[in-house]
Amino acid sequence: MTNVTIIFYSMGGTNVQLAKWAKEGAEQAGANVRLVKVEELAPESVINSNEGWKNTVESIKDIPSATSDDIEWADAIIFSVPTRFGTMPSQMKQFIDMQGGLWANGKTVNKVVSAMTSAQNPHGGQEATLLSLYTAMMHWGAIIATPGYSDPVVFGAGGNPYGTSVSVDQDGNMVEDVEAAVKYQAKRTVTVADWVKQGQA
């Protein structure tokens, strides 16, 4: 079976949900799945001053934190992150930056990767955020598996070929219906990882 690690960072809960949908999609495609979060770096005083952020941290406290082992174990990795000024959040960037040991030993080569994101408006940097993450993946020697326009479900979610993206209103609710697109993207990632794994075997 193909091993898939789903790694997310979330402040308001959106990317928790995207990651959980991705987990469902990957499992439906027959994969072994690990769902993990990256460590929160923001001071507790800042988190506690934002009710939504505080609630999210509390709601995911039992989800394991991502480690290098989760990267090495995986045949495929799906990332889910919010947009921060058109790039990935510092929490995810730090986690990626800490994988230098795996990278130096060739342990990131040929991992199949895909990513999803969110922002507060439809043009809030989603594509740039995914590209910033994929740039790091190119240095890893990973194989990037985007949804492209390979299925009509992508158009129903807003048509982002780089990866599923969703806008979120002021109340924290997703504007677009992206559940089907997320699950499709996860299944496609598993399929590509299956091909790579079978080819290497």
**Residue 140 has what pLDDT?**
98
**Residue range 155-169: average pLDDT?**
95
Instruction: For residue 201, name the pLDDT band (cuts at 50, 70, 90).
Output: low
pLDDT tens digits for 104-131?
999 999 999 999 999 998 889 999 999 9
Average pLDDT, the chain: 96
pLDDT tens digits for 170-200?
888 999 999 999 999 999 999 999 999 999 7
User: What whole-number distance in Å separates Cα of residue 15 and Cα of residue 3?
Assistant: 21
CATH of domain 3-200: 3.40.50.360
pLDDT tens digits for 34-91?
999 999 999 999 999 999 999 999 999 999 999 999 999 999 999 999 999 999 999 9
How many other CB atoms sit within 10 Å of the CB of residue 19? 27
Identity of the residue numbered 21: W
**Residue 171 has what pLDDT?**
87
With contact defined as beta carbons under 8 Å apart, do 16 and 182 qualify?
no
pLDDT at 92 over 70: yes
User: What whole-number distance in Å separates Cα of residue 72 and Cα of residue 68?
Assistant: 6
Residue 139 CB contacts under 8 Å (≥ 6 apart), including other chains: 103
Residue 170 CB contacts under 8 Å (≥ 6 apart), including other chains: 120
Q: Are strands 76-82 and 32-37 parallel, antiparallel or unpaired?
A: unpaired
pTM of the model: 0.96
User: What whole-number distance in Å separates Cα of residue 182 and Cα of residue 34?
Assistant: 16
- Considering just the CA atoms, what is the radius of gyration of the chain in Å? 16
